[in-house]
Structure 1
Amino acid sequence: MKLTGNLLLGANEVPASAGTMKALNPATHQLIEPDFAFGGAVEVDRAAQLADAAFDHYSHTSLAERAALLERIADNLDVVAQPLAARAALETGLLEAQLLGEAAKAATQFRQFAEVVRRGRFLQVAIDPAQPERQPRPRMDHRLQSIALGPVAVFGASNFPISYSVAGGDTAAALAAGATVIVKAHNAHPGASEIQARAIRQAVQDSGLPEGVFSMVRGAGNAIGEALVDHPLIKAVTFTGSEQGGMALYRRAQQRPEPIPVFTEMASVNPTFILPQALAERGAQIGDGFVERMLVNVGQACLKPAILIAIAGPGFDPLRAAMINRVGMAPARPMLTPGIHGSYLNGLDKLKGAGATPVAEGSPATAALDGQATLLEVDGQRFLSETALAQEVFGPAALLVKVEDEAQMLAVARALRGQLSAAMHLEEEDLGLARRLLPILERRTGRIVVNAFAHPQEVSFASVHGGPFPASSDSRFTSVGMTSIERFLRPVCYQGFPDALLPEALRDSNPLGVPRSVEGR
């Protein structure tokens, strides 16, 4: 597939106005053709104007039309899956087979959201019919449904170049809600981003929809992202990345004349707690599995299990030995970008400076951006006294925390900040401790896993990928799963309307056949 490197603003191919870049192959440290265009505030304004002009039409398309768009996007992603995975592998150093799985997951998400749209439950229709005879005051007819917020800016993630990027879940959920979308492509994988953007744009064109339903911009530094967040026509923002980057966008959005929601997915160490009986019976198995999951994506996964907490006692030594063995066998593999690689090395230094002791290392790095797997260890008292030990280190590192007893395990849990997920490994004899640990974890995470690890995660109606700060900026919402559509919706009440003027979902005949609450039933 030929790449032009242009910005894609609706149906328009727009060349560079603010310089160009080439993609970097992190495995070879070589630049890859072609040049990719950078834009700025002018291109953001052009995309936002197109998105706003398209919004009223697109947000009022029928559920069938919107679902058909999502399915066309999925079909187009299937067609380009092979070249997309190949290009993404060049730009990220990740395995092509893994990226083919990502491409399939992205297409699946669009099809899942098409089904969500067809069912119509996301509209959250509620009807309270008129009561003209009610005393002492008659009640007018009230009908409620959810509508899209407006044009949405989606910031592509670096670590999953397909399923959390241009054609990721944020784009799928926003389009499903009826929002128009402008994606800021991540500069770590510009070619993969262009392939995905063209697949989406072609689906928009084939559906006969306004061109402003979808655009993709790209820029150097922070300026283009700031222009997106500042633009008065943008009504919501999604971001996946570092706490520093996410909070900078969040604060900026709150300082606008019209503040808007910024839905961020940021830092998480996804703690794993091994309860005593499970440790005694399965310590080595759990330790090996923990490290295997930690090393996925060279440790560059938001759901990477990064901290394991276990009580000194039966099973601890086999657990530790299995972790050391698995880390020692891990090959050094290229990390996504020079910046991520540098931050990883800096994070390791901070853990060591806070008192964590390295106990195992994988194969040494042989290339400039290789990440060497590392296992560090610390006791519970030191962990409780050094807040730096609980910070995320994005890369192939894990921290084993050896606590003295159940009380110290609970204290460690209370010391943690908000998390995307937490896991408990337990047996029946551990249920008493698990019941004490559970409410602590409920207050600190959006997903609790028993006898498995945080990664991978299903994309389903019950999925939650979010949690208290700093895991996300709003713990009421998820960025993965079918209910992630709720981020892009707001309720509108229609009072006293004639039936012919009501949106279809609210009419007496319910022509769409959507689920509705009538008088609370």
Structure 2
Amino acid sequence: MTFTPHGDHLIAGQRIGSETRFSSAPATGRAFEFSAGSPELVAQACAAAHAAFPGLAATTREQRATLLDTIADEIDARGEQITEIGSSETGLPAARLQGERGRTTGQLRLFAAHVRAGDYLDRRHDAALPDRQPLPRPDLRMMQRPVGPVAVFGASNFPLAFSVAGGDTAAALAAGCPVVVKGHGAHPGTSEVVGDAIVAALDKLGMDTGLFSLVQGGNRAVGEALVTDPRIKAVGFTGSLGGGRALYDLCASRPEPIPFFGELGSVNPMFILPRAAASRAADLGAGWAGSLTMGAGQFCTNPGIAIVIDGPDADAFAEAATEGLGAVSAQTMLTDGMADAYRNGARRVSEGAGVKSLLSTACEGRSAAPYLFEVSASNWLTDEALSEEVFGPLGLVIRVTDAAQMAQIAASFKGQLTATIQMDDSDIDLARELLPTLERMAGRVLANGFPTGVEVCDSMVHGGPYPASTNFGATSVGTLSIRRFLRPVCYQNLPEALLPADLATL
């Protein structure tokens, strides 16, 4: 490896080491030592963010957009370093990391264009009506304003797009909020390179370096210190249900409760309607196998459950899925812990009442090979554990007796990121019957596709009712995600000289 990380935290633009250190656990190549975080370092970073907030909140939209563009440029300039150490740490292939880097920088540039346009401010003006009877109306103007410093937790499964400069950080900076990032221990070197890129962008533009800090590693106390620091006003998180719920509860129990925007878990059910099954069951089975195994199944939109009416078409679907999954070799998972959790999840599913194994594999260490199971709808409805996410390339086929039982299964799901309908034109009546249930269940409903692959654009929603996320009215992907870190402020009868520049001319 040609790149050697410095191993320090980045606190308000400064490299700061700590006596307590930890070693990375790369999938391949050399391990490196990194400074481990502490509550004291978190407090230092939060203090810097708090001090920098008024200045960032007062910047123009153009200044913030330029910052986002410059961060993207600095990340691209470090592309080879990111690919090298990212591949070593995570086991992800170079092409995947290069694509994820493109998504990350593209998202930053999209947000920059969105900020320049100004639509996210939702500006409104009700002019004064001094002669209105029985009471006059004052001059009222409203716009969105930043909430304050934001804590961001790097995700394990997306070392770039949902990590140091990923969607949460980009949205917070676009809104005008400083960011303190808790780096994920699975890829500290990758986090460091991206953190250095953000610091370089701030230096290049002469902006307050307190706008960004990266605290590496550390135990649970570090995350708890971050979400409970009174200077933090919102939290962005992508991770496990258990860890996210613990942080959510801490945010809610603070003397000043703050919003916790957590994306936690989803099985992303896929409903195969009768005519689609009759006309293309084998193609759907093969396509599902490809979606299940993409990235070793480590996508939060992995469609882990397929629902199909029992019979020959269900047999054809299951046979094609089994064949497709059986052809997939073992893949390296992001961490040893994820690989262990995957095997434990497969064991839990296999022990469910009435569960039949269609494809059982042996995988050891950090590798994961596909599993496929099937179960009747009646057995699935009586075993809540079967509805829990297994993070990895595992699929479960639920065989229902008819369309009515398919609707019953749909109604039984908890909140999801996505719900998919595989349908032909003659399935439209059943699809119309299912749609209201799926709308209540998921943040994104799609037809005749697979949910892996989340487009970063204005209309995307990546969120859903709990436990898919902790805030059903928000998204962590797309330009609407900026609104998470804004709040509306109404200005009544303020002189034009006191109004924010974006409101004065409205």
Do 1:327 and 1:361's aligned partners in 2 also have CA atoms closer than 8 Å?
Answer: no
> Residue 376 in 1 paired to residue 370 in 2?
no
Name the residue aligned to 1:333: 331
Name the residue aligned to 2:446: 449
Identity, in percent, stands at 44
Do 1:279 and 1:314's aligned partners in 2 also have CA atoms closer than 8 Å?
Answer: no
Name the residue aligned to 2:153: 155
Secondary structure of the corresponding residue to residue 136 of structure 1 = coil
- After TM superposition, give the deviation of residue 208 of structure 1 in Å: 1.1
Q: Distance in 2 between matches of 1:474 and 1:169?
A: 16
Deviates more, 1:274-283 or 1:214-223: 214-223
1:43-93 per-residue CA deviation (whole Å, 9 max, x = no partner) reads 011101110111000111011111000000111111112220221111111
> Residue 13 in 1 paired to residue 1 in 2?
no
Name the residue aligned to 2:171: 173
Q: Distance in 1 between matches of 2:336 and 2:152?
A: 23
- After TM superposition, give the deviation of residue 204 of structure 1 in Å: 1.1
Q: Distance in 1 between matches of 2:108 and 2:209?
A: 19
Name the residue aligned to 1:515: none
Secondary structure of the corresponding residue to residue 25 of structure 2 = strand
Alignment of 1:184-223 (within 5 A): 184-223=182-221
Q: Distance in 1 between matches of 2:219 and 2:392?
A: 23
Name the residue aligned to 1:517: none
Alignment of 1:117-136 (within 5 A): 117-136=115-134
Q: Distance in 2 between matches of 1:501 and 1:273?
A: 55
- After TM superposition, give the deviation of residue 9 of structure 1 in Å: 0.3
> Residue 398 in 1 paired to residue 395 in 2?
yes
Q: Distance in 1 between matches of 2:130 and 2:116?
A: 34
Name the residue aligned to 1:360: 359
Secondary structure of the corresponding residue to residue 443 of structure 1 = helix
Q: Distance in 2 between matches of 1:186 and 1:39?
A: 11
Q: Distance in 1 between matches of 2:333 and 2:219?
A: 20
Secondary structure of the corresponding residue to residue 293 of structure 1 = helix
Alignment of 1:279-428 (within 5 A): 279-355=277-353, 356-361=355-360, 364-365=362-363, 368-428=365-425
Q: Distance in 2 between matches of 1:500 and 1:235?
A: 28
- After TM superposition, give the deviation of residue 219 of structure 1 in Å: 3.0
Task: In structure 1, list runs of 5 or more residues that go unmatched.
Answer: 511-521
Work out which of the residue numbers 34, 49, 57 in structure 2 matches 1:51: 49
TM-score by length of 2: 0.98
Name the residue aligned to 1:235: 233
Name the residue aligned to 2:35: 37
Name the residue aligned to 1:24: 25
Q: Distance in 2 between matches of 1:239 and 1:354?
A: 31
Q: Distance in 2 between matches of 1:33 and 1:412?
A: 47
Do 1:328 and 1:361's aligned partners in 2 also have CA atoms closer than 8 Å?
Answer: no
Work out which of the residue numbers 456, 472, 475 in structure 1 matches 2:472: 475
> Residue 85 in 1 paired to residue 83 in 2?
yes
Q: Distance in 1 between matches of 2:261 and 2:419?
A: 21
Q: Distance in 1 between matches of 2:35 and 2:92?
A: 24
Code of the aligned partner of 1:359: L
- After TM superposition, give the deviation of residue 350 of structure 1 in Å: 1.2
Name the residue aligned to 2:433: 436
Do 1:92 and 1:336's aligned partners in 2 also have CA atoms closer than 8 Å?
Answer: yes
Q: Distance in 1 between matches of 2:239 and 2:14?
A: 29
Deviates more, 1:182-191 or 1:339-348: 339-348
Work out which of the residue numbers 82, 100, 103 in structure 1 matches 2:101: 103
Secondary structure of the corresponding residue to residue 308 of structure 1 = strand
Secondary structure of the corresponding residue to residue 194 of structure 2 = helix
Task: In structure 2, list runs of 5 or more residues that go unmatched.
Answer: none
**Aligned positions, number:** 503
Code of the aligned partner of 1:343: A
Code of the aligned partner of 2:469: S
1:349-368 per-residue CA deviation (whole Å, 9 max, x = no partner) reads 11112132221145x43x52
Secondary structure of the corresponding residue to residue 315 of structure 1 = helix
Alignment of 1:480-499 (within 5 A): 480-499=477-496
Do 2:164 and 2:181's aligned partners in 1 also have CA atoms closer than 8 Å?
Answer: yes
- After TM superposition, give the deviation of residue 25 of structure 1 in Å: 1.9
Secondary structure of the corresponding residue to residue 239 of structure 1 = strand
Name the residue aligned to 2:5: 3
Q: Distance in 2 between matches of 1:252 and 1:229?
A: 7
- After TM superposition, give the deviation of residue 307 of structure 1 in Å: 0.2
- After TM superposition, give the deviation of residue 313 of structure 1 in Å: 3.0
Q: Distance in 1 between matches of 2:88 and 2:232?
A: 33
Secondary structure of the corresponding residue to residue 396 of structure 2 = strand
> Residue 268 in 1 paired to residue 266 in 2?
yes
Secondary structure of the corresponding residue to residue 164 of structure 1 = coil
Code of the aligned partner of 1:371: A
Do 1:4 and 1:34's aligned partners in 2 also have CA atoms closer than 8 Å?
Answer: no
Code of the aligned partner of 1:196: V
Q: Distance in 1 between matches of 2:32 and 2:476?
A: 32
Q: Distance in 2 between matches of 1:320 and 1:11?
A: 54
Do 1:81 and 1:104's aligned partners in 2 also have CA atoms closer than 8 Å?
Answer: no
Secondary structure of the corresponding residue to residue 207 of structure 2 = coil
Q: Distance in 2 between matches of 1:415 and 1:211?
A: 49
Q: Distance in 1 between matches of 2:83 and 2:294?
A: 17
- After TM superposition, give the deviation of residue 291 of structure 1 in Å: 1.0
Secondary structure of the corresponding residue to residue 24 of structure 2 = strand
Q: Distance in 1 between matches of 2:402 and 2:31?
A: 57
Secondary structure of the corresponding residue to residue 295 of structure 1 = helix
Shift >3 Å, 4+ stretches = none
Secondary structure of the corresponding residue to residue 441 of structure 2 = coil
Do 1:218 and 1:224's aligned partners in 2 also have CA atoms closer than 8 Å?
Answer: no
Pairwise CA RMSD of aligned residues? Answer: 1.1
1:108-135 per-residue CA deviation (whole Å, 9 max, x = no partner) reads 0000000011000111111111111111
Do 1:464 and 1:481's aligned partners in 2 also have CA atoms closer than 8 Å?
Answer: yes
Do 1:20 and 1:37's aligned partners in 2 also have CA atoms closer than 8 Å?
Answer: yes
Do 1:273 and 1:424's aligned partners in 2 also have CA atoms closer than 8 Å?
Answer: yes
- After TM superposition, give the deviation of residue 433 of structure 1 in Å: 0.6
Q: Distance in 2 between matches of 1:33 and 1:443?
A: 46
1:119-171 per-residue CA deviation (whole Å, 9 max, x = no partner) reads 00111111111111111221111111111110000000000111111111111
Secondary structure of the corresponding residue to residue 447 of structure 1 = strand
Code of the aligned partner of 1:22: S
Q: Distance in 2 between matches of 1:215 and 1:237?
A: 14
Q: Distance in 2 between matches of 1:369 and 1:67?
A: 41
Do 2:339 and 2:365's aligned partners in 1 also have CA atoms closer than 8 Å?
Answer: no
- After TM superposition, give the deviation of residue 314 of structure 1 in Å: 4.5
Secondary structure of the corresponding residue to residue 22 of structure 2 = strand
Q: Distance in 2 between matches of 1:399 and 1:317?
A: 14
Q: Distance in 1 between matches of 2:105 and 2:227?
A: 28
Q: Distance in 2 between matches of 1:132 and 1:182?
A: 47
Name the residue aligned to 1:225: 223
